[in-house]
Structure 1
Amino acid sequence: MTIAVGDSLPDVKLKVVGPEEMTEVSTSEFFWNKKVVLFGVPGAFTPTCSNNHLPGYLENADTILGKGIDTIAVIAVNDAFVMRAWARFTGGEGKITFLADGSGVFAKAAGLEQDMSAGGMGLRNKRFSMIIDSGKVTALNLEGSPGQAVDSGAARLLEQL
């Protein structure tokens, strides 16, 4: 069952990717006592994720943070090394927190997984965005059209803040 507004995030372990280190953190620790914008992408370096979804959050980071958000984070079912490379490649280091869900534990626990095996990608995230306040989902946007980043994009999320 897909997570919904009012639900608490599942408590799982993720990797927070930094410029020099990768730290394991539980979602209960990472999201506790702060307001976070989290958006999920099917995969780092994929065309829609790299060209349409992530850039909107990078371009609007200051505006989003100026609306009372403590952290902007992106999550993908990729390992921490890929997420670090993507952060560097996109110029996202220091602007957005990159979270690696290498085995898809968050995606599965939140009901946000999708099987992309037909395209050779295996289990991935659905494309989404959400606002989380101390671990509770206060807004959730699931992308309605494959290959798009409109419903879950930064412009849509800004309307909700």
Structure 2
Amino acid sequence: MKAGQTLPNITFRTRVRDEAVGGPNPFRWQDMTTDDYFKGKRVVLFSLPGAFTPTCSTYQLPGFEENFATFQELGIDEIYCMSVNDSFVMNQWAKAQGIQNVKVIPDGSGEFTRRMGMLVAKDNLGFGMRSWRYAAIVNDGVIEAWFEEPGLCDNHGEDPYGESSPENLLKYLKEAKATAAA
């Protein structure tokens, strides 16, 4: 996927809190589509190898959360974190991280990630199929800017991080704003 391309149309199986369900686990299934997340909005989408993993939990997700207000000032409506994990895992990870602003999207089957061309084997880590780390600025479902970590391949021996960092996306947005104002 590159700038100018439209995101694949996918239905995501999510779990949402619904007090009407009652009991100790008041959640229900809710299908969400690509349009539900991206239509009519300018958003940051970042995808990572797995919830609860070191780089994702220490730097990437907290960095986007901490900079949410700055992203909004630069014209971003929402920030979405995606991983090839199910909704149960993504919701618990967001809870454990104390996330209030970034919204998590579960790509449990990896279908969105596969159609983005970013599904890789991580068998060397015992993960199976997962997302390569990337980020994008998405405007109304169309990729405006693309940030992919180098070395895309199956069973990569490292976990590159930098291109898809919140700092790098903020740099892009600030430069784009300055250019537009000039």
Q: Is the pair's TM-score, using the shorter chain for normalization, greater than 0.5?
A: yes
Find 1:58's aligned residue among 65, 68, 79.
Answer: 65
Aligned length: 158
Is 1:96–2:102 an aligned residue pair? yes
| Deviation, structure 1 residue 66 | 1.5
Q: Which amino acid aligns with 1:108?
A: R
> Residue 49 of structure 1: SS of its match in structure 2?
helix
Is 1:78–2:85 an aligned residue pair? yes
Q: Which amino acid aligns with 1:5?
A: A
Q: Render the CA deviation track for 1:9-40: whole Å, top value 9, x for unaligned.
A: 00011245545545321112321011010000
Q: Normalising by structure 2, what TM-score? A: 0.82
Question: d(CA) in 2 for partners of 1:17 and 1:68?
Answer: 28
2:139 alignment partner in structure 1 = 133
> Residue 81 of structure 1: SS of its match in structure 2?
helix
Question: d(CA) in 2 for partners of 1:95 and 1:109?
Answer: 27
**Aligned pairs for 1:120-159 within 5 A:** 120-144=126-150, 146-159=158-171
1:26 alignment partner in structure 2 = 33
Q: Which amino acid aligns with 1:13?
A: T
Question: d(CA) in 1 for partners of 2:128 and 2:31?
Answer: 23
1:113 alignment partner in structure 2 = 119
CA-based RMSD of the aligned residues comes to: 1.5
Most deviating of 72-81 and 109-118: 109-118
Q: Normalising by structure 1, what TM-score? A: 0.92
Q: Which has the larger radius of gyration?
A: 2
Indicate the structure with greater helix content.
2
> Residue 103 of structure 1: SS of its match in structure 2?
coil
Q: Render the CA deviation track for 1:64-106: whole Å, top value 9, x for unaligned.
A: 11111110000000010000100000011x3111000001001
Structure 2: gaps (5+ residues):
19-26, 152-157, 174-182
Find 1:44's aligned residue among 48, 51, 54.
Answer: 51
2:22 alignment partner in structure 1 = none
Most deviating of 26-35 and 134-143: 26-35
Question: d(CA) in 2 for partners of 1:36 and 1:16?
Answer: 19
Identity of aligned residues (%): 35
> Residue 111 of structure 1: SS of its match in structure 2?
coil
| Deviation, structure 1 residue 148 | 3.7
| Deviation, structure 1 residue 144 | 2.1
